[in-house]
Amino acid sequence: MLRNLTRTFTAISTIAALMAPLMAPNAAYASSTTVPRKCINGVCGSVKYYGGKVRISLSSKLSRTTHFNFKTNPGDQIEVGNGYSFDREPGDSGTYSAQACDRGGFGARSTCTKWATFDWNSGAQEQEEEQ
């Protein structure tokens, strides 16, 4: 009987050890932050941080937008559809810039808005400025 009880406790301990990572998520994945939607120069951006990723959503007030020119600071300029995401640790912050564009016809260049720059953060606490 003691042998069966020992086996049972050993099995329970093993299961508990295997389940621990599932039950207690990493703090980076537990925290979540949202930067509300803001529009500048006809380009709108919002940010959600969760699961260790900064997720940027882009939209436009233009009647026709085929793509966005996008860059982070520092970073190269790339073309994106309606958003971009990247891995970050909690407490990081920075900026990103975007242009809403309408792809030109055959042989024509795209027409784009002026660059709009927005803030992103991954749970960084905003500090109040003293007056």
Q: What is the CATH number of the domain that holds 84?
A: 2.60.40.10
Predicted confidence at residue 25, as pLDDT, reads 45
**Residue 87 belongs to a domain:** yes
Query: Residue 88 above 70 pLDDT?
Result: yes
Stretch 105-120: mean pLDDT, rounded? 92
**Residue 130 belongs to a domain:** no
Q: Would you place residue 3 in the very low, low, confident or very high pLDDT band (cuts 50, 70, 90)? A: low
**Residue 22 belongs to a domain:** no
**Residue 97 belongs to a domain:** yes
What is the number of domains present in the chain? Answer: 1
pLDDT tens for 22-66 read 444 444 444 788 888 999 999 999 999 998 999 999 999 988 999
Taking the whole predicted model, whether its pTM rises above 0.75 is answered as no
Range of the domain at 79: 28-121
Per DSSP, the residues of the chain read: -HHHHHHHHHHHHHHHHHHHHHHS--HHHH--EEEEEEEETTEEEEEEEETTEEEEEEEESSS---EEEEEESS---EEESSEEEEE--TT-EEEEEEEEEE--STTPPPEEPPPEEEEEESSPPPPPPP-
**Residue 19 belongs to a domain:** no
**Residue 51 belongs to a domain:** yes
Stretch 82-91: mean pLDDT, rounded? 91
Predicted confidence at residue 104, as pLDDT, reads 81
**Residue 2 belongs to a domain:** no
**Residue 84 belongs to a domain:** yes
Predicted confidence at residue 1, as pLDDT, reads 55
